Structure 1
Amino acid sequence: MTPPQPCPDANDGPVTVALVDDEALVRAGLRALINAEDDLRVVAEADDGTGVLDLARRTRPHIVLMDVRMPRLDGIQATATLVSSLDTPPKTIVVTTFENDDYVYGALRAGASGFLLKRSRPEDILAAIRLVASGDALLFPAAIRTLAATHAQPAT
């Protein structure tokens, strides 16, 4: 497996972010939070996963913050579409209100670089964007514990 790579051109200016969430208020809050930072900038928004591939082709964001549950095309399917359709897909952080292991596994299988809960503190959301842009992966602590417990091999 290839180790995660930093976002191309992320060192040449602000890390660019696309917001994909069916809730306008959530997008507005994230946009205000992200655009208040000198090193981050929202470049595109969509209210459903069906528009994310075209959005990514047009705006070439470094990061996509992708809601899990949306009408028509959910965030896991949209992430898989990005990863399979683009030569250099943006890094995707799947964001949800639900602490659901199936969402975590689905997001990781689809190619997401991170998984974050919407109830995360604003500074943690910003740190997550920067962390994933630098080439690292991110899971919230409870998901890490569950993954570790589920996939832990007994010592022989």
Structure 2
Amino acid sequence: MPYVPTPKPVVDRMLELADVDETDVLYDLGSGDGRIVIRAARTHGARGVGIEIDPDLVKKARKNAKEAGVADLVEFRQGDLFEADISEATVVTLYLLPSVNQKLRPILFEQLSPGTPVVSHDFDMGRWAPDRTVDLEGDTVYRWTIPEEIPEDLDE
């Protein structure tokens, strides 16, 4: 998947929709240059973990975190988001293609606690209807909440 950074106003809206605060551990899957994780740490005091497959982007994200003064709150791991342990997350953010989101959905249901917000920039989760959808001048932000019980039509 090509790397396309999320615009800053969209990042802020994603964090707002997820109600991020200093008690959160935000995981950004496909974290790119680290902007969502870094912004969550800088503006909300949250801890964060970025998972990114591209080693050059991981290096860039680590450099950006250091420059932003939040290297003590965030970490960036190079790896495959389908193999990552995300069970510590209290918030998950995504900017991935719909096919990737849908492939990731069972992992989210398996690893995340009920009540965990999942927020995506521009792309939905197929049959899993969002709790909220916000349009931002050409960008869309979706928010879901991990349910207590996975609906049968979503557990494949």
Same fold (TM over 0.5): no
User: TM-score if structure 1 supplies the norm length?
Assistant: 0.42
- Which has the greater radius of gyration? 1
| The structure with more helix, counted as a fraction of residues | 1
| The structure with more strand, counted as a fraction of residues | 2
User: TM-score if structure 2 supplies the norm length?
Assistant: 0.42
